[in-house]
Structure 1
Amino acid sequence: MSFILIAAAIGLAAQATAPVVPATPPAAPLSQENKALVRCSAAFALVSFGQESGNAEAQKWPATDPRGREFFVRALAQVMDETGLQRDAVAGLVQAEAQRLLDEAQVDAVMPACLTMLEASGV
């Protein structure tokens, strides 16, 4: 799964006027850990996209690449393994979560926990 493509898709989705279509339900319910992995993957993608675009809000966070990118890849592979979802379904979950984070202005609220999760991941 291309982090840059997902980040670009998330950025485009944030600009779109049409609502994001919910992803297909997972074969197994998402655990709290899987939900956190999706949330932090979405947050890292949004911050990375913002940093690459020169967004001042995104610049206040530590650089997300390359560690955030590696976290994104590993986290979503784990979600696929644990839920049985395919790449496109997981990408849909991340896109929907990114849209929710943007709509509810929650990126800044989740980033501290996501940075802690990144540190704990050993990436």
Structure 2
Amino acid sequence: MIKLITAAALMAASFQTPPAKRDEPQLSQEHTAMLRCSAAFALVSYGQANGDEAAKAWPTIDPRGREFFVRSLAKIIDDTGMTRDQVSQLAEAQAQRLLDADLLDSVMPGCLLMLDSSGV
């Protein structure tokens, strides 16, 4: 029984977000998802505007994706007290992570659902 409780506790701990670095604000799951999708929309929008065939495979992102990006970053600023520059840096880092880890195609379906449910 104790082994089962210990295993469950270890598994639960593995799903938790690691603590933020000292000067890095902790983002909620909602903010993190908004940031990830904003970055994904920016990448797809850029690709679509520049004739990238992989980006063209997705539904047309602009103008809705751009509006989602603006509203999401503004909400993160309002909710966290971060500066526009800080949030922009987080969005840029998120976009780079999506590219580096080749995750754009895996996050886009969920992001499109998020876009549809956002009312933008």
Same fold flag (TM > 0.5): yes
Find the counterpart in structure 2 of residue 106 from structure 1: 103
- Count of aligned pairs between the two proteins: 98
In the alignment, the residues of structure 1 paired with residue 71 and residue 107 of structure 2 have an alpha-carbon distance, to the nearest angstrom, of 19
The counterpart of 1:83, out of the listed 66, 80, 85, is: 80
Spell out structure 1 runs of 4+ moving beyond 2 A: none
Query: Which structure has the larger Rg over C-alpha atoms?
Result: 2
Structure 2 residue ranges without an equivalent (≥5): 1-22
TM-score (norm 1): 0.78
Q: Distance in 1 between matches of 2:93 and 2:38?
A: 12
- Mapped to 1, the partners of 2:85 and 2:55 lie a distance apart of 26
**Larger RCO: 1 or 2 (CA < 8 Å, sep 6+):** 1
Matches within 5 A, 1:6-85: 25-26=24-25, 29-85=26-82
Task: Let me know the Cα RMSD of the aligned residues.
Answer: 0.8
Q: Percent identity?
A: 60
Partners of 1:83 and 1:45 in 2: CA distance? 22
In 2: Cα distance, 1:83 partner to 1:62 partner: 31
Query: Normalised by the size of structure 2, how large is the TM-score?
Result: 0.80
Unmatched tracts of structure 1, length 5 or more: 1-23
